[in-house]
Amino acid sequence: MTRLSHAPAEGIVTAEASARLAGTSVSRRSFLIGAGAMVVLFSAKGQVGTAAAQEFEGGGGPGAPSPNQLDSWIAIGADGKVTAYTGKEEIGQGISTAQIQLVAEELCVPFSQVNLIYCDTALTPDQGITSGSQSHPTNFNHRNLALAAATARETLVELGSKRLGMPADQLMAADGVISAKGDSSKKISYGELIKGQRFEIQLDPNAKRKPASEWTVLGTEARRPDLPALVTGQFEFVHNVRLPGMVHGRVVRPPMVGATVVNVDEGSVKGMPGVVKVVVKKNFVGVVAEKPWQAIQAANRLKVTWSAGTGLPSHTDFYNYLRAEKPTRDTLLVNSKDVDEKLAQAATVLKATYYYPYQMHGSMGSSCAVADVQGDKATLYSPTQGVWPVRGSAAVLLGLKPENVHVIFRRGSGCYGLNAADTVTFDAALLSQAVGKPVRVQLTRKDEMAWGENYGFAFVMDERAGLDGDGNIVAWDHESWSAVLGNRPGYATPGNVITGSLAGFSPEPFMARSPAPEPPAYSNNSNGVPSYVAGNVGGVAKGTGAITSERALTHNIASPFFTGPLRSPARLQNTFAHECFMDEVAARVKADPVAFRLRHLKDSRVIEVLKGAAELANWEPRPSPNPPSQRTGMAAGRGVACVAYEGNNGFAAMVAEVQVDRETGKVSVKRIFFANDSGPISNPNGLRNQIEGGTLQGMSRALVEEVTWDDQKVTSVDWQSYRSLPLGFAIPEVRVKLINRPDQPATGAGETAITIVAAAIGNAIFDATGARIRQVPFTPERVKAALSQTLTRA
Amino acid sequence: MRLDGYLDGQVKNDLDGDQPWSYLEHMSVIRLTVNGQAHALDVDPDTPLLYVLSDELALNGPKFGCGLGQCGACTVIVKGQAIRSCITPVKAVGGAAITTLEGIGTIDKPHPLQRAFIEEQAAQCGFCVNGVIMTAKAFLDKNPKASEEEIQQAMSGVLCRCFTHVRMLRAIARARAELGTAK
C-alpha cells in the first residue's frame, strides 16, 4: 500500500520534517529533494493561516505547534508525483480516498499520482482530532488542503505561461500537464516545470477553487485504494506493527470500579517463561513478556490485592439517579424566556420523557498500540484520532517533553469515537517506559469493554410542547440530564481516559454550575435544540424551525463511568427524543407526521431531505398509528425522522418500515429510505457506504445495545453480554437518495445517518402497534411491555 | 478439536494447580502447513493458533477481535472448515493444512470473493473482512448454490461493527455467482 503509506521515504520530506523525524528541531526552510520540487507552505503570516488555524477543531493546543508552523501541505516532485500531508486520518470512513480525489482534482493530476500522508507528528499538520464529521468541512471547503492544492495549480499555470510564452488564461491544466487551449502540441508537464529547481510557495487565500461543474475526479466513485490490501490480508493495521526487539504487554485492570492496588506480589510470576517485568504505577498494573501468550498467562497468574470498589448506582434505577444527582452543570442552549407563560396559555400541553443508555463503540478489534520509549524519547504507533493531542498528553503521562514524543497514526479497527485507542496507547507507553524496549499491547475483549473505552452518554430527556387550538406547536421545552467523566485526553490531560486515571492523573474537573447562564451565542452542536424551533439567541434566529417560544436546558452530572464521544454524541440521544416527541404530538392532533413536521420547519434543506425521504418511501399521508386490524400476529408500520446535524453540518431524513411481532415483541426493520444532503458530493459511493453503515449501526444501537453493570462492575464484557447485530440478521433494504449541492460548503456525513435511526424505528413501532417505546434499546421485553399497556388502555 | 477453555486468558487453564510451570516440559515442535508452506515451530502447544499465525509467522490476515470465538475476526480454514483460531490451541491443528486470507488470493490474483469485495467496495475499516471472507469461503465451497437466506444464516456468527452488511452480503452473492459459473 504505497499510496496510503506513512513511510517518509514514500513522499517528499522537507528538511524540517526530516529533522522532526530525527527528533531535532530546525528552523530554516530548505528541501531534501534531489531533483527539484514545489512545496506549498502554510503561511505563518497569511490571513488564511490565522483563519484556518481557528477552524481547527482542537488544534494548536499548548505545547503543540500550530498548523502554520508546519511547512508543507503539498509537495510536487520532479517526477510529477504529488505528496499531500493531512491531519485528517482514515478510520474506516473512506476519507483518505476523498482527500486524494480532492488533491488530484484541484491540482489536475491523476488520482494515482497522489500519495497521501496522514497523521504523523513529524510530518503532518495539527488538525486536531479526526472526529465530529469535521474532516470534510476542514479540508474540502475554501481552506487548508483544498486551498493548498489550488495554490499549487495556479502557480504551475503561471510557470507554464512563462515557459510556453503564452498568457495564463489561454492555458489549461490536466493530467499533470499545462497545455494551450486548442493546441495540444504546446504543452509542458509539471515535472518539466519543476525539474532541478526548488519552489517554495505560500498558500494563497485567494487561489481559485475548481468549480464543481468542472470536476473530473471529485464527484466520481473513485475506488478506495486500501481495499485490495485489506481483502487479501496484506494491509498493516496497528495490530500488525512489529518492531525489532518488540515484547508484549498485558494490563491487569481492577476487578471493581474504584478498587485500588493494595499489593502486587511480583513473586507470583517469578520464573514464568518469558516474563520481562511486572509494572506498577499507582493503580496501573501490567506484565511484559517476550511473547503474547506468555504475557497473557503471567497476567492471569499475577497476584494483585485490590481494595474494595467504591460501588455503583443501581442499573435498574439509573435514570432516576441521573435526574436526581447533584451537583449539576447546567447549560441553556436557547431561552426565549416566555416558555412557561406560553405553556400556561396553551390549549394543550404534552409531555414525555425519553431514556437512552450508555453504549459502547465496541470496536471489532480490541484496541492495540505499540510504544518504544527509550530514555527521554518516545515513539508511539497509535490508532488515536488525534496524534498531536496524544503527543501532548502522552508526554505528560511519561514525564517527557512533547517535542520528544513522536506519534505515528496506524489504522486500528473502526472506532466511531473515543474507543480504547488512546488508553491502550498510554498502556503501551507506560510498559515500554518501564522496560526500555518496544512493547505491543492489545487489550482483551473484556478490558476493551469494561476498562478501555469511554462510553457514549446515557441520557434522560424531558420534552414538553404547548399547542394552540389548531394543533400547532407554540412552545417547546427541552430538558436533559446526562453524565460525564473524562473525555479525549487532549494535549495535557491523560487522566481523561482510564489508563491515565489509573496511573494517577486526574480527569478534567467537573465544573458544577447552577443555574445556567443565558446562552452567549447560538450553537446546536449537541442537537439539544429541536429542528422545529427558531434558535433565537441575541435577536438572531439561527435554528431551522418556526416555533419562537423555546427553551433547551441541559444538566450534566458526574458519571460513574468514563464517557466520551461516540458517533453522533448527544446528538443521537437528543434527536431520538425530539423526533419521537414530534411524532407523539402529531399523533395527538391526528396529523400526518411528515406534514406536521413541515408545518414547523423553515429551513429549506431540512424540508428538502424530509420530502425526499417521504417521496422515496412512497409515503402515504395519514396520521399514526395505523389502526390495527387485529391485536395479534405481525403488525407493520412506517416511521419518519429528520435532522439538521449539529444545526448545520449535514441534513438527513429517513423513513423506516418495520414489522413488529406482537407475540414476541421482536422488531424487524424491513426497508429504510434515506435522503441525505451534505453539500457537494465528493464520492457518491463512499457517501452511500457511510449512510448504509450508519443506518444499520443505528439499528443495532436502537434495538440491542446497552452497557450493563452490577453494584461493583460493568457486566457487559463480551459479544454475548453486549449485543451487536451480526451479518446474519435480517438486513433491511436500504435505499438512499443523495442530494448534491455543489454550490454549498461541504458538511460532514459520517454521523448524520445514525442520528435519526432510533427515532424513525421508534415512530414506526408506534405506527404499527400504537405502542410508544421511549427507552433505547427497543428490546422484545420492552416492546411487549409497551404493547400490553396499549391493550390495557384500549 | 478443542474449541473451548481459552477465553482470552480470562479462564484459567490447566496450568493452575500445584505444577505451575509444567508446560515448560510441553514445549515441543509443532508442525504446521500454512498456505502451502511447511513450518516447524517451537511453541507452547497450548498457544492459541492465532498467536502463532500472527506473531510467529507474521501473517496479517487473521485478527484478534475478541479472543472468545464470538466475532469471527480470527477465522482460518482447516480441512475445509472455518475455525476460530483465537480459541483453537495450536496442538489441535498440528500437522493440518491451514489456509488464511493471504492464502486464498493476492492483490494481483484475488480470489473471486476478494475480487467481489473490491467490486462492491464492501468494507469500511476492514478489520472484520478476514472473518467475513473466510467464513463465506468455507461455506460457499461446500454450498456453491446456497440461497441468499442460507448465506445470511451462515454468516450469523460474524460481526462487522461498521455495519457494512449490505455490501458484504452483496459481494458474497456476487462471488457465489462467479464461483458457480466457474464450476
Q: What is the residue whose three cell numbers read 452480503?
A: B169
Whether A416 contacts chain B with CB within 8 A: yes
**Mean of the pLDDT values across residues A401-421?**
96
What H or E segment, with its residue span, contains residue A651? strand A651-661
A254-265 pLDDT, tens digit per residue, is 999 999 999 999
Distance, CA of A385 to CA of A497 (rounded, Å): 14
Residues of A in contact with B166 (CB under 8 A): 692, 696, 731, 734
Residues B150 and B122 in one domain: yes
Is the per-residue pLDDT at A428 higher than 80? yes
The CATH number, out of the four listed (3.90.550.10, 3.30.930.10, 3.40.47.10, 3.30.365.10), of the domain defined by the range A459-793: 3.30.365.10
Q: What is the residue whose three cell numbers read 508484549?
A: A248
Q: Which ipTM score applies to this complex? A: 0.93
pLDDT at A139: 85
Query: CA of A16 to nearest chain B CA: how many angstroms apart?
Result: 32
Whether A435 contacts chain B with CB within 8 A: no
Residue B82 lies in a domain: yes
**Mean of the pLDDT values across residues A304-318?**
98
Q: Which of A364, A726, A734 sits opposite B156 (nearest CB)?
A: A726
**Mean of the pLDDT values across residues A504-518?**
98
pLDDT at A52: 34
**Mean of the pLDDT values across residues A670-683?**
97
Most confident range, picked from A147-151, A192-196, A625-629, A678-682: A678-682
pLDDT at A485: 98
Tell me whether residues B152 and A728 touch, CB distance under 8 A: yes
**Cα–chain-centroid distance for residue B91?**
16
Distance, CA of A423 to CA of A620 (rounded, Å): 50
CATH at residue B64: 3.10.20.30
**Mean of the pLDDT values across residues A197-203?**
85
Tell me whether residues B60 and A233 touch, CB distance under 8 A: yes
* Percentage of chain A modeled with pLDDT above 90: 80
Residues of B in contact with A237 (CB under 8 A): 60, 63, 127
Within 10 angstroms of residue B88's Cβ, the number of other Cβ atoms is 23
pLDDT at A132: 79
Tell me whether residues B127 and A237 touch, CB distance under 8 A: yes
Is the per-residue pLDDT at A676 higher than 60? yes
- Residue A258: exposed, middle, or buried by beta-carbon count in 10 A (0-12, 13-18, 19+)? middle
Beta carbons within 8 Å of A656's beta carbon, 6+ residues apart: A638, A639, A640, A669, A671, A672, A732, A757, A760, A761, A763, A764
Considering chain A, what is the average pLDDT of its residues? 91
Is the per-residue pLDDT at A20 higher than 60? no
| Domain boundaries defined on chain A | 8-222, 245-308+361-451, 459-793
H helices of A505-603, where? 571-588, 593-600
**Mean of the pLDDT values across residues A496-518?**
98
pLDDT at A62: 36
Three-state SS annotation for A206-223: CCCCCCHHHCCCCCCCCC
Is the per-residue pLDDT at A69 higher than 80? no
Domain boundary among B82, B103, B124: B103
Query: CA of B79 to nearest chain A CA: how many angstroms apart?
Result: 20
Domain boundary among B68, B103, B138: B103
Residue B61 lies in a domain: yes
| Amino acid (1-letter code) at residue B117 | F
pLDDT at A24: 38
Residues of B in contact with A412 (CB under 8 A): 125, 127
Reported confidence tier of residue A72, pLDDT bands at 50, 70, 90: low
Provide the 8-state DSSP code for A103: H
Domain boundary among B44, B70, B103: B103
Is the per-residue pLDDT at A792 higher than 50? yes
Within 10 angstroms of residue A153's Cβ, the number of other Cβ atoms is 24
Number of structural domains in chain B:
2
The CATH number, out of the four listed (1.10.357.10, 3.40.50.2020, 3.30.365.10, 3.40.50.300), of the domain defined by the range A245-308+361-451: 3.30.365.10
Tell me whether residues A92 and B125 touch, CB distance under 8 A: yes
What pTM did the predictor assign? 0.92
Residues of A in contact with B47 (CB under 8 A): 293
Q: Which residue has the higher pLDDT, A380 or A26?
A: A380
Query: CA of B180 to nearest chain A CA: how many angstroms apart?
Result: 21
pLDDT at A13: 53
Residues B126 and B73 in one domain: no
A610-625 pLDDT, tens digit per residue, is 999 999 999 999 999 9
Is the per-residue pLDDT at B5 higher than 70? no
Residues B59 and B83 in one domain: yes
Q: Which residue has the higher pLDDT, A729 or A162?
A: A162
Query: CA of B5 to nearest chain A CA: how many angstroms apart?
Result: 13
Residue A146 near residue A207, CB atoms below 8 Å: no
**Mean of the pLDDT values across residues A361-376?**
98
Tell me whether residues A726 and B123 touch, CB distance under 8 A: no
- Nearest-10 Cα torsion for A362, A499, A450, A302: 130
A103-146 pLDDT, tens digit per residue, is 999 999 999 999 998 899 988 888 888 887 888 888 888 788 89
pLDDT at A51: 33
From first CA to last CA, the distance across chain B in angstroms is: 31
Interface probe with A: pick from B34, B162, B164, B167, most Cβ of A within 10 Å: B162
Whether A716 contacts chain B with CB within 8 A: no
pLDDT at B71: 98
Residues B31 and B92 in one domain: yes
B60-87 pLDDT, tens digit per residue, is 999 999 999 999 999 999 999 999 999 9
Tell me whether residues A93 and B124 touch, CB distance under 8 A: yes
H helices of A175-291, where? 190-194, 227-231
Question: What CATH number has the domain spanning A8-222?
Answer: 3.30.365.10
pLDDT at B36: 97
Distance, CA of A571 to CA of A552 (rounded, Å): 13
Reported confidence tier of residue A91, pLDDT bands at 50, 70, 90: confident
Distance, CA of A440 to CA of A453 (rounded, Å): 18
Residues of A in contact with B159 (CB under 8 A): 364, 719, 724, 726-727
Whether A700 contacts chain B with CB within 8 A: yes
**HSE of A197, CA atoms in CB hemisphere, 13 A:** 12
A773-787 pLDDT, tens digit per residue, is 999 999 999 999 999
pLDDT at A295: 98
Q: Which of A231, A300, A719 sits opposite B71 (nearest CB)?
A: A719
| Residue span of the structural domain in which B34 resides | 22-103
pLDDT at A36: 77
**Mean of the pLDDT values across residues A411-436?**
97
CA angle A311, A315, A316 (to 5 degrees): 135
What H or E segment, with its residue span, contains residue A580? helix A571-588
Query: CA of A782 to nearest chain B CA: how many angstroms apart?
Result: 24
Distance, CA of A387 to CA of A400 (rounded, Å): 16
